[in-house]
Structure 1
């Protein structure tokens, strides 16, 4: 279980100023084990910052973060990863000289047979034969790198998986596969928790719980069936939510046929 208690995160207004701007404002949130939680809201509302605070990429100005009862407020990224927290970046890093298979093995912490690697890649819409021996460098598109990172998260299988806008840079066909993958993971592992930062309605509809964040505060939160009716078309625009249709995903489709 993840518990955030009275979290505050402030940053300087500018490089030389003593004044600060509050990005996360006295936020408290509990994510139960086995829950699929989607955090949504307008751009600039603090969603990605909140995800980084959970992972330890940023440190809170004040407040407490507990994971399975252990205080991890000031724990390092490595310490949190060892406890079972995983993080998928909105813009994944590239690793020149690192092949996809090796990256999957590092994530899993063990050698992996090609068949298992193929399973992880196919779940994110990539053909193993075309990608296992490729380097995770500039030769890959942003969408390809994003899908490979999600595959490494599947290989790692963390207790708490945090995905920051996993749909970003993903074509429509792969987005369909991705939503199916999130659904399958959630249904297969009731002891694993998923937190996704997203504006996409189809991802929001997968959630057990929805958290609407605005100006660093929780504006609304609760079970999907309770929150979704409040997100009418006008409210979707207000919260920054979008409908997932082919016309909204103007990205090149990458064939996955082997």
Structure 2
């Protein structure tokens, strides 16, 4: 049986963790209260407030376009964490390939000790599993490092999220067809569709069992985005739409880079 841990859960449901942290962070204060230099709290002062200043600064550079400011900052954030995400994806794909190679032998070992719960049998099974890992140069603890890019993004994404909600100037401006301070059904639907596509793209290259395990995210993420967007100003689904499109291309690029790297190794 596959061993589960908080890290396994985090890798599979990292996006949900982001959303939960967003709401948990919101419990500490009024998420609709305007942010300024007098606002107390370390996170508010050093993350939310500075993002709010950056939003207003870029908006002034682009003739008061807060929509364009949000798009630019979103892309800058995604570009900043992209090297970490590419490394994470490559590491994840390498782990998946190695797991495919060693799974038959793992199944044999587990079958050999099935039903044997005594300490001696369990110790022998662990020793054989460790020998198998060494044989294939497989480190199951390496998956823990895959959580790092997600952890790095937390304060950045959450800070930007609250800066959008707590910068009142945004609500007074329009972008394209919508008022950024009001709910917008078109942007909400767009964000939902984009994240549904993104979830499907993330399944490319996975085997059938992995696809089934991850399939639920193809529905949970878009639904959560939709529910939140329906009760939020249009600036938020705009932010998620831009970020989602970037993630789609980032995922496609990282998977293609890995396949190219894998083929080059096989030809050597």
TM over 0.5: no
TM-score range, shorter chain: under 0.3
Q: 1 or 2, which has the higher strand percentage? A: 1
Q: 1 or 2, which has the higher helix percentage? A: 2
